[in-house]
Structure 1
Amino acid sequence: MGSLRILVGCKRVIDYAVKIRVKPDKRGVITEGVKHSLNPFDEIAIEEAVRLKEKKLAQEIVAVSIGPTACQETLRTALAMGADRAIHVEVDDKSYETLQPIHVSKILAKLAAQEKIDVVIVGKQAIDDDSNSSAQMTASLLGWPQATNASKVDISGTDATVTREVDGGLETIKCKLPLVISADLRLNEPRYATLPNIMKAKKKPIDKKKATDLGVDVEPRIEILSVEEPPKREAGTKVESVDDLLNKLKQLGRI
């Protein structure tokens, strides 16, 4: 059995299939009574950690979620997929509304140091705020190498070879452990948690901490002034022929 200790970030987000609605005061989106689930990219991160354990490269997988009590449901999903134990960093609802990637990164970095972690894996971005910055800032705070947007990970000894998705195609980099990885869509296909594993997950430990226990101040650094829905798309029109299409585009000033 390998000796790697892996920390995986697990964010609770509004489920990808839910239609998002903006609050009347335009200070955020409606979350009450809305289905939430584990961020899909974080699901990929958990799957990769479990595969590393199945390859006998990892010894322990620790899942972490930051937020209100409901985050424990998200951690149970990670535990059912194969994480060994979980840490819930409790943040009250009001502070959670203004929690930013810098706060998340500081918490992850502190936990990585406390838990003697070798590899931190997070999703490349959360599907709610799409920040794509927690992995980068966590690596910076720890002074570790980073391999972001990973589509393939190979670990041998203290070396990791990671294939990254970049604008022009694929880039392969070699890093020394300890390392921060962010998971891209094509890294793997996450497994479904089986019923026996869901039952076992109920007995796995969830350690509770507060951000203050880790010496992290979660005061907001930015203020959200307004959240707006994207403009509604106008209905299309049908045309009879290519000539009609060209005439229509000329009338609209598109050509």
Structure 2
Amino acid sequence: MSWFQKLFGHNHGVVIGMLHVPALPGTPCHNMALQAIIKKVCEEARGYMRAGITGLMLENMHDVPYIQPNHVGPEITASMTAVSSAVRQEYPDIPLGVQVLSAANKQALAVALAAGLDFIRAEGFVFSHVGDEGFQNACAGELLRYRKQIGADHIKILTDIKKKHSSHAITSDVSIAETAKAAEFFLSDGVIVTGTSTGIPTSPQDIQEVREAVSLPVVIGSGVTVDNLHESRAMLHANGCIVGSHFKHGGHWQNNVDFERVKCFMDEAKTLQT
């Protein structure tokens, strides 16, 4: 049994719901006390659990505009740890992960270790790209050495390849399949394939090519909706999906979670779970 199936209980049809943490201290849109942020995120987690979600992932998506990882301060790491710890304390058994934007993968590992989380989502694991926050260099060697150094080998690292909101012109001669192979060679625990931006469907061809190229878990990172869940060939080749925008009122990531949408989606997704 793969680590993915052990953690999520299924090897296909896994759905990871996004907990988009309100803007944190020091960021331009910050306007809530940390305790209020914790309360809101925990309320969303409860709604997801009632709707039957498979797993959850916290992300500081409201911290726009994003900055380079070496500028993500200790206040963000501390705040994400506090929020993550509160969710973990309430739900000790739910598969729970974290992503810290932008590409603050070491900070995410530190949060996961301190809060008892199961996985992180990492950007820029292999090859380099240009994101809207600037140039991002590959980090696999440094990140995995850091994971070993802090005793966090049990925390899995799901890695974006050819990630959304980015230009990949500098690696245009490297296919998505070859990128996935490089991630596997560099000891990624699983790969995430996305569309071009948040909420944009992922190419079924990309998913199939990646699935055929590697033996790692493959997760769809954008654009899955209740309407295309069964229609898209992508879900047949992937182990699961991460859903954020579609679960929000009006399908927009900035809005609150619409738990009727979540329940409707999960009712359909459960027919794919194996």
| TM score, norm. by length of structure 1 | 0.32
**Greater helix fraction, Structure 1 or Structure 2:** 2
Of the two structures, which has the highest relative contact order with CA contacts closer than 8 Å and spacing of 6 or more? 1
Larger Rg: 1
**Greater strand fraction, Structure 1 or Structure 2:** 1
| TM score, norm. by length of structure 2 | 0.31
